[in-house]
Amino acid sequence: MSETPVRETRTAKRPTKTQIAWLRRGLSEPGGKLPLFNDQGQRVNDRMVRSCLEHGWAEPWFENPLKPNWLVCKLTDLGRKAVNGSP
């Protein structure tokens, strides 16, 4: 008896509500700059930022000389599409 091959289907990953809220803040900023802090003044979660980088929704913009371990990022075209619900 031969096994039926399993076909892997890839679905486009969508940002979470938290990621969308963060990415949307870049829509109104010059160059698409994404904030380092949330609306409550807390630093944004590094794992969330790295996840957005891995999915191509954000990209590193420049290094912060005062805080070299902080990622200063900007919104990508793919990030704009993800926020607007485009495939």
- 3-state SS class at 52: helix
56/65 Cα distance (integer angstroms):
24
pLDDT tens, 8-66? 333 458 899 999 999 999 999 999 999 999 889 999 999 999 999 999 999 999 887 88
pTM of the prediction?
0.79
Residue 12 falls inside a structural domain: no
Answer whether 19's CB lies under 8 Å from 50's CB: no
CATH at 39: 1.10.10
Domain hosting 70: range is: 17-84
For the chain, what is the radius of gyration of the CA atoms? 16
Q: What is the pLDDT of residue 33?
A: 95
Answer whether 12's CB lies under 8 Å from 87's CB: yes
Q: What is the pLDDT of residue 12?
A: 58
Domain count, the chain: 1
